[in-house]
Amino acid sequence: YIKPLAPIMKKILLTILFIAISSKLLACTCMSQRLLDRYAKSEFVATLSVLSVDSETDGDYLLLDIEIIELYKGKKTNLLKIRKSKGSGCPMYAPENTKWLIFASKDQNGNLIFGKCSGPKQLDRTFDKERFPNAELNYSKGLKRKLEILETLKEEKIEPINTYNLYTSFNEESLEKFKGYQIENGNNAFYEITVNADLSLKNIKTLKEFDNEQLSNELIEVIKKNIHIGRIGKLDVIPEETKIILGLHYHSAEKERKSVILPYTY
């Protein structure tokens, strides 16, 4: 025989359960996206300095007065909005006198808005070197790769698109043969992939290739034979033929590790 819980104990347990569920619901759960997809979905991409933050003129947002360092996509502006952290599961704050890489989109009123889930990166972020001795180096390497990619897109006038939320993947073994290749200039290559309605590959067009002719020729054949195209959260079919941009990055040799070429995973 199990003795029933006293009313007061029931209330305590229900309260604990409610708090636990509420915390889970409010937890920050941003969907992971690759840089090219963030770029495609954003209407404004830039590195910038935050000059001032005003929280009084708009009840739901913080207003950021900014100065653009480098504009990659969109029109110049000196004002961005960020939703206040109160009541949000993904709070974010960009203090004045900080520098950022920002991806922003317009709301129904035409205001450029960004938040934690849009993929911002602080350019001047610092870390506790005693507690996290390698964090700053790893963070700066990842940030440098992102900025290199954005700079290449701008220089080559490449405009990533992804209308139907498609993704590409490779058999990892198919890229093993490219370990140890040498490239003189440029760490990024871009290809325009034409996709049939059934998500099969129709055509590949080179937009920016690596500075190694043999490597570039072999890569095209490997992409044709090993690329897989899928659709996020949907059936493997789209309403019409479409195009997406595939990016590959050259990771140079480091210590005992050979150079390698991989698709963007960030």
- Looking at the structure, tell me whether residues 135 and 190 fall in a common domain: no
pLDDT tens, residue by residue, 114-153? 988 889 999 999 998 888 899 999 999 999 999 999 999 9
Kindly report the pTM of this predicted structure: 0.82
Last residue of a domain, one of 145, 160, 175: 160
Tell which wins on pLDDT, 209 or 19: 209
Q: Which domain holds residue 94?
A: 32-160
Residue 167 included in any domain = yes
Last residue of a domain, one of 130, 160, 190: 160
- Residue 89 contacts residue 27 (beta carbons within 8 Å): yes
CB under 8 A, 24+ apart: contacts of 86-94: 88/115, 89/25, 89/26, 89/27, 89/28, 89/29, 90/28, 90/29, 90/30, 90/115, 90/116, 90/117, 91/28, 91/116, 92/116, 92/120, 93/62, 94/50, 94/53, 94/62, 94/64, 94/120, 94/122
Which region among 24-28, 38-42, 57-61, 95-99 has the lowest average model confidence (pLDDT)?
A: 24-28
- Looking at the structure, tell me whether residues 139 and 176 fall in a common domain: no
Q: What is the pLDDT of residue 173?
A: 83
**180 pLDDT above the threshold of 80:** yes
pLDDT tens, residue by residue, 79-123? 999 877 655 557 678 899 999 999 999 988 888 999 888 899 999
- Looking at the structure, tell me whether residues 50 and 150 fall in a common domain: yes
Amino acid (1-letter code) at residue 94: A
- Looking at the structure, tell me whether residues 38 and 146 fall in a common domain: yes
Q: What is the pLDDT of residue 12?
A: 55
Q: What is the pLDDT of residue 11?
A: 54
Radius of gyration of the chain (CA): 23
Structure confidence at residue 7 as a pLDDT band (50, 70, 90) = low
Looking at every residue in the chain, the average pLDDT score rounds to 85
Q: What is the pLDDT of residue 146?
A: 93
Last residue of a domain, one of 160, 179, 196: 160
Residue 153 included in any domain = yes
Q: Supply the CATH number for residue 152's domain.
A: 2.40.50.120
